[in-house]
């Protein structure tokens, strides 16, 4: 097992599109920090580089923007990034589907 910190960039253009962002991270990656760097929002994660990657889903909301209360969706706040000299304040969440409980 070899732990290393990787940085994942999200371009501002993708954030403005209000889409669910998909990033490939190594399975079990631990999100450490979110911040603005140069032109992009970046997510730093501690990963085991020996394991396979998986797709994880992220959403970005601007201050004052409504955060949907979707049934079956859980969001975990990761951090806030301030871009363009404070013009945009972006709040990054990881999005998970909550498994439905099955009745026996």
CB 80 within 8 A of CB 64: no
Which residues are CB-neighbours of 84 under 8 A, at least 6 positions away?
A: 12
Structure tokens at 82: 């301030």
Per residue in 2-11, pLDDT (tens digit) is 899 999 988 7
Q: What percent of the chain has pLDDT over 90?
A: 47
Q: What is the mean pLDDT of the chain?
A: 86
Q: Hey, what's the torsion of the CAs at 94, 99, 18, 82, to 10 degrees?
A: -20
pTM of the predicted structure, to 2 decimals: 0.84
pLDDT value at residue 23: 92
Could you tell me which residue, 54 or 20, shows the higher pLDDT?
54
Could you tell me which residue, 8 or 86, shows the higher pLDDT?
8
């Amino acid at each position: 097992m070899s732990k290393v910190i990787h940085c994942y960039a999200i371009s501002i253009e993708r954030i403005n599109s209000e889409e669910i962002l998909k990033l490939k991270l190594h399975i079990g990656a631990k999100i450490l920090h979110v911040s603005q760097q140069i032109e992009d929002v970046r997510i730093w994660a501690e990963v085991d580089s020996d394991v396979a990657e998986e797709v994880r889903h992220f959403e970005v909301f601007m201050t004052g923007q409504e955060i949907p209360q979707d049934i079956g969706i859980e969001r975990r706040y990761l951090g806030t990034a301030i871009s363009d000299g404070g013009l945009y304040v972006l709040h990054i969440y990881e999005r998970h589907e909550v498994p439905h409980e099955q009745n026996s």
